[in-house]
């Protein structure tokens, strides 16, 4: 029933999104709440059985499987690809220093707070405490990028700082992951990173422009240039993954490369349309579907405090880092809030630590549950806060 799940999820998410817009909130909240609704249905609603003309039909909501995961993965990759496509290289260069200071403190403070919390409050062993600190280091900007696009603030000072910091944050986060879990050598990671940068540099010197010009001027098949552009983004996502970086980082850099071509105006609209109409909603539905109310009854109350501590660590670390680069307080606050969401890396570290028995079985499950709760909570709260922080600009909402 994968197709029925996909059909219902997409339709319901758009209806919920419309409701949120009419409540003067952002459509992404509708997609997140759709995921929560499906999670409730998966856990508490029995299968539906229908009989008609001698035929039997049975349906149980599950919202899992390869099709759903594929749509969700493509959603976040295309979202960051579009973000790169809509980023101005000049703005990015000017925000480099801000991004570095923001990411550095934004990783360091949550890591230290989480480690100390593990040692002093939970009385974990040293390695367990380090893993607890590492879980909440890397930011996932999918929610923030979507919110900034809806608010038309992706190229604002806060927006470019967040994007730059997120790229640097990803690299620092993987270094922390390497140090704590030993997933690969530091030398291998650094070598892979420089290989990736070298490939980006080669494509920036001419091949990207030639590829897109050929697709636009010489190819006659319908939408060839759009298909090739999307394939270009997926190609760099794969390269990033193979060298140890997040696929979304590769997709973002691919978008940046295409943003410098003359064909940007031709591909921007169609790709944005495809991504946000079909694929992007599934990523946020997936985030919402991770939520389960039963978690609240099975988690050590002390561990729940880690959610607050992680949010404070990200906000204070990132906003302080931004202030050090001498941006205005209101923009530093926006950056701090925008850097709070977490997703892929946090869940990978938590589940990997559980599978490797770094924590005892029950504690490991509780750590995973707290991580999921933080992911879903931050995904819901951050868009609301960002809209409030940018509301003084009276920006029209994007449907």
In the chain the domains, ranked by start, together with CATH numbers, are 66-392 (1.20.1530.20)
Return the number of other C-beta atoms located less than 10 Å from residue 43's C-beta.
12
Write down the pLDDT at residue 186.
60
- Residues 313 and 113 sit within 8 Å (Cβ to Cβ): yes
Write down the pLDDT at residue 329.
95
Question: What does the alpha-carbon distance between residue 281 and residue 11 come to, in Å, rounded to a whole number?
Answer: 10
Say which residues have a Cβ less than 8 Å from residue 177's Cβ, sequence separation at least 6: 134, 138, 183, 345, 348, 349
Write down the pLDDT at residue 78.
94
Write down the pLDDT at residue 187.
66
Question: What does the alpha-carbon distance between residue 113 and residue 322 come to, in Å, rounded to a whole number?
Answer: 19
Which residues does residue 56 pair with via DSSP β-bridges, in sequence order?
51
Helix axes 157-181, 186-204, angle to 10 degrees: 150
Question: What does the alpha-carbon distance between residue 168 and residue 252 come to, in Å, rounded to a whole number?
Answer: 12
- Residues 314 and 385 sit within 8 Å (Cβ to Cβ): no
For every one of its 399 residues, what pLDDT tens digit does the chain have, with 9 covering 90 and above?
578 889 999 999 999 999 998 988 888 889 999 988 988 888 787 777 777 666 777 777 777 778 888 999 999 899 989 988 988 888 777 788 889 999 999 999 999 999 999 999 999 999 899 989 988 887 888 889 989 988 989 889 999 999 889 878 877 776 676 667 655 556 666 787 889 899 999 999 989 999 999 999 999 888 899 999 999 999 999 998 888 777 888 898 999 999 999 999 899 999 999 999 999 999 989 888 887 777 777 788 999 999 999 999 999 999 999 999 889 999 999 999 999 998 777 887 887 788 778 888 888 888 988 998 899 899 999 999 999 999 865 433 333
Closest listed residue to residue 257, CA positions, set 276, 279, 235? 235
- Residues 38 and 285 sit within 8 Å (Cβ to Cβ): yes
Q: Where are the alpha helices (DSSP H) in the chain?
A: 2-22, 27-44, 66-85, 89-94, 96-116, 126-135, 142-150, 157-181, 186-204, 207-217, 224-242, 247-259, 264-274, 280-289, 295-298, 301-324, 329-338, 344-355, 361-390
Write down the pLDDT at residue 176.
74
Write down the pLDDT at residue 331.
95
Say which residues have a Cβ less than 8 Å from residue 205's Cβ, sequence separation at least 6: none
């Amino acid at each position: 029933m994968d197709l029925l799940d996909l059909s219902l999820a997409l339709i319901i998410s758009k209806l919920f999104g419309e409701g949120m817009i009419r409540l003067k909130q952002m459509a992404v909240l509708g997609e997140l709440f759709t995921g929560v609704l499906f999670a409730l249905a998966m856990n508490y609603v029995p299968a539906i059985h229908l009989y008609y003309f001698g035929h039997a039909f049975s349906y149980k909501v599950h919202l899992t499987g390869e099709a759903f995961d594929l749509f969700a993965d493509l959603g976040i990759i295309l979202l960051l690809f579009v973000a790169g496509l809509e980023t101005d290289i000049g703005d990015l260069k000017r925000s480099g220093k801000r991004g570095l200071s923001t990411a550095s403190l934004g990783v360091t403070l949550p890591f230290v707070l989480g480690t100390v919390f593990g040692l002093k409050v939970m009385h974990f062993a040293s390695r367990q405490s380090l893993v607890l600190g590492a879980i909440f280091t890397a930011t996932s900007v999918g929610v923030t990028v979507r919110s900034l696009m809806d608010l038309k603030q992706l190229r604002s000072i806060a927006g470019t700082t967040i994007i730059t910091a997120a790229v640097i944050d990803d690299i620092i986060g993987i270094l922390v992951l390497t140090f704590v879990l030993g997933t690969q050598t530091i030398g291998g990671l650094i070598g892979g990173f420089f290989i990736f940068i070298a490939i980006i540099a080669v494509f920036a010197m001419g091949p990207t422009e030639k590829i897109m010009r050929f697709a636009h001027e010489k190819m006659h098949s319908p939408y060839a240039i759009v298909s090739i552009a999307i394939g270009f983004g997926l190609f760099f996502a794969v390269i990033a993954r193979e060298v140890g970086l997040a696929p979304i980082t590769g997709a973002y850099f691919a978008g940046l490369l295409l943003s410098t071509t003359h064909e940007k105006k031709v591909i921007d609209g169609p790709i944005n349309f495809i991504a946000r109409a079909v694929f992007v909603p599934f990523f946020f539905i997936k985030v919402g579907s991770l939520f389960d109310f039963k978690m609240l009854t099975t988690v050590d109350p002390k561990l729940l405090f880690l959610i607050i501590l992680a949010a404070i660590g990200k906000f204070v670390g990132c906003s302080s880092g931004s202030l050090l680069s001498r941006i205005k307080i209101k923009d530093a606050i926006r950056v701090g809030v925008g850097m709070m969401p977490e997703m892929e890396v946090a869940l990978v570290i938590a589940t990997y630590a559980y599978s490797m028995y770094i924590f005892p079985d029950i504690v490991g499950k509780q750590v995973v549950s707290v991580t999921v709760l933080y992911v879903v909570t931050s995904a819901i709260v951050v868009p609301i806060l960002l809209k409030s922080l940018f509301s003084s600009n009276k920006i029209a909402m994007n449907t």
